């Protein structure tokens, strides 16, 4: 199997550093897409029992982030420092604990969550037990600027080149084949459409129509699943475009608000049909990187 040629050897690896993002909550009731009030845990903190590879549905929470939620600037999520942290950290990057009892332990970046402006990191269970809310992490950030040299129309974001090499992406002489866990119709994409921040954040698969999820096999989604979104162009902004294909990684849980659902972090996109997604078992970063 031939792989697309990239410019990986020219990419810069640069350090960025963050800390655990404390969970936040208003504590008052909010209203879901069916008009039902709820008050539940949300994003942030060290999540001990929800990991990359687990189902995104069924958790008693909203916008739950698996593993460790991190931030560079907790007081100002929109600061240049935090923006740089989110932009530079790519899925598959190595993260090293640089403080506390777990100092020297290694984990893996699994995505970034827009709105909360968190970078998510997976660690083994024994490391999670040693972390505190004051723990700090150094990420060896590399991936932004990755290009497929024979396919300039295809744009790549947020993807460590070492993960790219393990994804079984195939050069099919005119297009590329990408193994995915599921194919998401573009009509189901909601919160985040219209954003131009493809190199940070995510956007959501809407889950208010349960029959649509079943029809497309989306009721079995897991954190870390690689998915294809049809008729969606993320090359220069997240928008509908017939024939476009976007590939992304599922990074947070289902959500109860209208227009929301499991979050998808963009990794590959093309405005024209040069990407051929193929549903294949094991198309999940936990499986590919041996995280579980």
**Token pair recorded at residue 79:** 């600061």
Q: Give the class (CATH, top level) of 12-141.
A: mainly beta
Tell me how crowded residue 131 is: count the other CB atoms within 10 A of its CB.
23
Tens digits of residue pLDDT in 232-245: 999 999 999 999 99
What pLDDT is stored for residue 208 in this prediction?
96
Tens digits of residue pLDDT in 212-258: 999 999 999 999 999 999 999 999 999 999 999 999 999 999 999 99
**Token pair recorded at residue 250:** 């599922």
Strand bridging mode 37-38 / 170-171: unpaired
What does CATH list as the number for 155-288?
2.102.30.10
Tens digits of residue pLDDT in 128-175: 999 999 999 999 999 999 999 999 999 999 999 999 999 999 999 999
Percent of the chain with pLDDT over 70: 100
Cα–Cα distance measured from residue 86 to residue 276, given in angstroms and rounded to the nearest whole number: 29
Cα–Cα distance measured from residue 3 to residue 284, given in angstroms and rounded to the nearest whole number: 19
**Token pair recorded at residue 4:** 């697309």
**Token pair recorded at residue 228:** 């294809």
What pLDDT is stored for residue 24 in this prediction?
85
- How would you write the chain as a 3-class SS string? CCCCCECHHHCCCEEEEEEECCCCCCCCCEECCCCCEECCCCCCCEECCCCCCCECCCCCCCCCCCEEEEECCCCCCCCHHHHHHHHHCCECCEEEECCCCCCCCEEEEEEEECCCCEEEEECCHHHHCCCCCCCEEEEEECCCCCEECCCCCCEECCECHHHHHHCCCEECCCCEEEEECEEECHHHECCCCCCCCCCCCCEEECCCCHHHHHHCCHHHCECCEEEEEEEEECCCCCEEEEEEEEEEEEEECCCCCCCCCCEEEEEEEECCCCEEEEECCCCEHHHHCCCC
Average pLDDT over residues 15-25: 94
Residue 78: partners with Cβ closer than 8 Å, 6 or more residues away:
117
What are the domain boundaries of the chain? Answer: 12-141, 155-288
Cα–Cα distance measured from residue 43 to residue 25, given in angstroms and rounded to the nearest whole number: 9
What pLDDT is stored for residue 27 in this prediction?
79
Give residue 26's pLDDT band: very low, low, confident or very high (50, 70, 90).
confident
Strand partners, 171: 176
Tens digits of residue pLDDT in 76-122: 999 999 999 999 999 999 999 999 999 999 999 999 999 999 999 99
38 to each of 94, 98, 180, how far by Cα in Å? 37, 38, 33
| Residue 288: half-sphere exposure toward Cβ, Cα within 13 Å | 26
């Amino acid at each position: 199997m031939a792989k697309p040629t990239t410019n990986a050897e020219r990419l810069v690896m640069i350090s960025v550093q963050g800390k655990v993002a404390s969970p936040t909550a208003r504590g008052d009731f909010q209203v879901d897409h069916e008009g039902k009030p709820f008050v539940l845990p949300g994003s942030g903190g060290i999540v001990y029992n929800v990991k990359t590879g687990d189902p995104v549905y069924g958790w008693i929470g909203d916008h739950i982030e698996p593993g460790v939620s991190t931030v560079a600037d907790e007081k100002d999520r929109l600061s240049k420092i935090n923006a740089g942290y989110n932009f530079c950290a790519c899925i598959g990057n190595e993260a090293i604990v640089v403080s506390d009892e777990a100092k020297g332990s290694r984990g893996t970046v699994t995505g970034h969550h827009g709105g909360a402006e968190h970078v998510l990191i997976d660690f083994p269970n024994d490391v999670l037990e040693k972390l505190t809310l004051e723990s700090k992490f150094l990420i060896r950030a590399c991936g932004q600027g990755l290009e497929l040299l024979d396919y300039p129309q295809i744009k790549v974001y947020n993807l460590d080149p070492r993960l790219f090499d393990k994804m079984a992406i195939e050069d099919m002489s005119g297009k590329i084949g990408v193994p995915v866990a599921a194919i998401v119709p573009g009509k189901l994409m909601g919160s985040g459409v219209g954003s131009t921040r493809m190199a940070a954040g995510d956007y959501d698969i809407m889950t208010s129509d349960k029959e649509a999820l079943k029809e497309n096999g989306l009721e079995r989604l897991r954190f870390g699943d690689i998915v294809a979104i049809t008729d969606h162009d993320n090359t220069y902004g997240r928008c509908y475009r017939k024939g476009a294909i976007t590939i992304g990684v599922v990074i947070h849980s289902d959500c109860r608000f209208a227009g929301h659902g499991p979050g998808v972090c963009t990794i590959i996109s093309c405005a024209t049909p040069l990407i051929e997604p193929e549903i294949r078992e094991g198309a999940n970063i936990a499986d590919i990187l041996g995280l579980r």
